[in-house]
A and B are shown apart, each in its own frame.
Chain A
């Protein structure tokens, strides 16, 4: 387990189990500290598959392909990766594809790297513009309920939903 993965072990285990219990079998990701432990769990579990992407938009297409044959998936990315996704999110509005994104934030609460602010602050407006519902977690005690709402919105409500883990929740990296 990497240092980043270790730091996020407790809540990552709970979130992974919650996603798996909801029927998610396919995990895809561009690595980020916020999804490091979940990706390890998804690689290690015999019933789930974890796919390393080269750009986040690939995950949106991967999820749509899985949906066509009845599989549930989650696409995990850092907030900067949201900026790589909008055109492919046409699947959402145009095709009613359910979609669950897991976004770990940079460029918000406590950020010290100036490069992260522009995209971080644009995450929610961009998702909203493309019809993705947003579910934000700021506090540990809210994780389970907010995750449940995002899962229901995507897989029962047939929406695209983004579960957003804020830097208040994750902790900001020091520079």
Chain B
């Protein structure tokens, strides 16, 4: 596979220059911090700090129930690997308004950087393809971010964007980790009180 040169910090704002246009769901750990920085922990984003593996189907439930909004799932490779079946569930339902972004640092950054399957032989783009997701883009360098921005803004979903990034600290950002408050915040913003 292509050598990875992409730094995760600063990547998401280049892919989503207008984050207010989306509803976001994130998995836990580093990708949640990168994403929360993108929206300044906005009310259009629900980040998780547990329930590893839940992000993709949580985003699917949102996309199916809010068909007029663009929904983006942002998850790490570990999160995605924990529930690979959810890619098949997404492919079968095929919501046009759903994009999955996997920030893949090849390991478990939150727990000490233990190498993950994707740093060995596992190819998430092939897995997404095999699950039946048709629109897939792999980006592993800074140069590819403009393609990524175009990819998430064009065509129809479901889309799978595999962002292969260097090992390194995620974006330094503290977010609200109280799920009850975050649920109410999201619902109030979306449903209008």
Contact = CB atoms under 8 A, between A and B. Distances in A.
User: Are A and B associated in one complex?
Assistant: yes
Interface of A: 25-26, 49, 51-55, 57-71, 73, 87-88, 90-91, 94-97
A52 B90 CA distance: 10
B57 A62 contact: yes
B22 interface: no
Contacts of A57: 53-54, 83
Contact of A95 (B25, B55, B61, B183): B183
How many B residues are at the interface, by size bracket? 35 or more
B172 to A, nearest CB: 25
B92 interface: yes
A68 B187 CA distance: 5
B110 interface: no
A62 B60 contact: yes
B89 A68 contact: no
B61 A63 contact: yes
Interface string B68-108: 01000000000000010110110011000000000000000
Contacts of A61: 51, 54-58, 61
B83 A26 contact: no
Given A61-B61, A88-B51, A69 B89 contact: no
A25 B8 CA distance: 38
B21 to A, nearest CB: 15
Contact of A69 (B52, B65, B179): B65
Given A66-B61, A66-B65, A73-B61, A54 B85 contact: yes
Nearest to B65: A71
Contacts of A90: 50-51, 179
Contact of B89 (A54, A63, A64): A54
Given A58-B85, A66-B62, A96-B183, 6 more contacts: A51-B93, A61-B51, A63-B61, A71-B61, A90-B50, A94-B179
Contacts of B65: 25-26, 65-66, 69-71, 73
A63 B179 CA distance: 15
Contact of A68 (B55, B88, B92, B183): B183
B182 A69 contact: no
B180 A95 contact: yes
Contact of A58 (B57, B180, B182, B187): B57
B133 to A, nearest CB: 14
